[in-house]
Structure 1
Amino acid sequence: MSPLPRWLGLPQAARPGRARRSSPDDGAVSLTRGQLRTAWQAVSLLVGYPGDELRAQLPALRSAIAELPAEVGVPLGRLVEHLEKSGSAAEIDYIDTFDWTRKCSLFLTYYAFGDTRKRGVALVRFKQAYRRCGMEIGDDELPDHLSVVCEFGAFGDLDVAWRLLVEHRAGLEMLRLALTDRESPWVDAIDALCATLPPLDGEGREAVARLLADGPPGEDVGLDAYALDPSLNDHEAVFSDGSEFLGMPQTTGVRS
């Protein structure tokens, strides 16, 4: 997915949809849908690789997040400031943090499924969600990467992205705890993202406790190509509560 600085802060039209158990209006911090899209786009960019392209977008990011509530905008602004001051040194820190440490994985399904066949099934559901909304991602990136999911929410279907993030709320908390433990500046992006979501409920706290005690499943089988491409899989994607993805087709998106 390409960087999208031209969209920063632009309002997004609401689209109709069936009722959902949880909605973007249920976050810990009160945000308009436009603010939520801006926040998620900022997170999407800030958890991406901090190369020259991202550094060029930091001034626009700073302006956009200044309009967000403090609980979201302050941590995002702190990370922007860190990246501005760090320059290219942030690239090494990013690789050390996210590429070599599984505890800090940016791939949401890893926390629930580890390297098991079940993760391949979960990836099907992400990719089908994007495809139903008229968006495709390249073969060089996995659909559960946090940057991809947040970008999908910013420019695709806000409600479906919300459901994906909420379903993996325990994994996000594990990532937040790991980054906190490392005293990583990127914890600010996850703090801001979590502020836009509901707090962990009892089931979520139990899931985090299990992950802290046992870690993700460890069956090392790789990711099957059949599972990764929903065009090869006849089964409809559903959420864990049994409801189908409700993404609505559209003609615009990151890729269509």
Structure 2
Amino acid sequence: MRLLSRPDTTYVERPEDRAALLRLVSLLLQYPDAGLLAARAELGRAVAALPVPQPALEEFMRWFGDRDPMSLARDYVRTFDLRRRSSLYLTYYLHGDTRRRGMALLTLKQRYRVAGLTPPEGELPDFLPVVCEFAALAGPSAGEAPLRQHRKGLELIRTALRAAGSPYALVLDVLCAALPDLSEAERLAVADLALAGPPAEEVGLAPYGPPLNEMEVRP
């Protein structure tokens, strides 16, 4: 991928500004590998240069820029790989482990291809950084449609991150502030989903589940 409650967030209106913001969100939600860590200073400058100031991202960058690489890697795996409630695979929240999720993944991949984009190899098309990058490239209308479709899932992730005290909640605050707010009915649905969990249908869907094996480590 390329660099390019709503406390401390500001809605971004111009398409080019939204694209810059979404690219930053995409990068900051990726695993902190050597390439991302080497770009921390550049990312900090990009956040500071946003036309609409984003104090939440600035606060996140202060945390992200000061942490040692091993701590960042452990935080990321613990936050996103080992907890279903804050998994970054969006179709899980809408469809759970059901056959409908496989169709949703296929539809999303086809949406990318129609726009002339190819999802990265080895990553599911509903991975939130991939969805944000698509939104940045394809524009507010078609590009942000998957984010709007999964708005309730994004709210669940944000709520889970806040409950866990994770600094990554600041990044979700910014993303959610750039999208339409939830209606009262949607907020009730989010609360119900947080209690009951997504639909379950275990047969034949292991490849689509978010990684949850506590022995699994990233390279």
TM-score by length of 1: 0.74
2:91 matched to 1:109?
yes
Aligned to 2:2: 4
SS of structure 1 residue aligned to 2:101: helix
Aligned to 1:69: 52
CA contact (8 A) 1:37 1:154 kept: yes
CA distance in 2 between partners of 1:210 and 1:161 (Å):
28
Q: Decide which of 154, 163, 166 is 2:148's aligned counterpart.
A: 166
Aligned 1:1-256 pairs, distance under 5 A = 3-5=1-3, 8=4, 29-66=11-48, 67-70=50-53, 73-88=54-69, 89-223=71-205
Per mean C-alpha deviation after superposition, the further-off stretch among 138-147 and 177-186 is 138-147
Aligned to 2:217: none
Q: How far is the alpha carbon of 1:69 from its aligned partner?
A: 2.5
Identity %: 39
CA distance in 1 between partners of 2:117 and 2:139 (Å):
10
CA distance in 2 between partners of 1:114 and 1:161 (Å):
23
Q: How far is the alpha carbon of 1:108 from its aligned partner?
A: 0.7
Q: Which has the larger radius of gyration?
A: 1
Q: Which runs of 5+ in 2 are unaligned?
A: 5-9, 209-219
Q: How far is the alpha carbon of 1:58 from its aligned partner?
A: 1.9
CA contact (8 A) 1:169 1:204 kept: no
CA distance in 2 between partners of 1:78 and 1:68 (Å):
17
CA contact (8 A) 1:176 1:191 kept: yes
AA at the equivalent of 2:52:
P
CA contact (8 A) 1:104 1:179 kept: yes
Q: Which runs of 5+ in 1 are unaligned?
A: 9-27, 228-256
CA contact (8 A) 1:39 1:68 kept: no
CA distance in 2 between partners of 1:93 and 1:213 (Å):
25
Q: 1:181 to 1:222 in 2, by over 3 A?
A: farther
Length, aligned pairs only: 201
Q: How far is the alpha carbon of 1:222 from its aligned partner?
A: 4.1
AA at the equivalent of 2:175:
L
CA contact (8 A) 2:28 2:171 kept: yes
Q: How far is the alpha carbon of 1:65 from its aligned partner?
A: 1.9
Q: How far is the alpha carbon of 1:47 from its aligned partner?
A: 0.4
AA at the equivalent of 1:148:
V
Q: How far is the alpha carbon of 1:157 from its aligned partner?
A: 4.1
Q: How far is the alpha carbon of 1:63 from its aligned partner?
A: 1.9
CA distance in 2 between partners of 1:137 and 1:212 (Å):
29
SS of structure 2 residue aligned to 1:161: coil
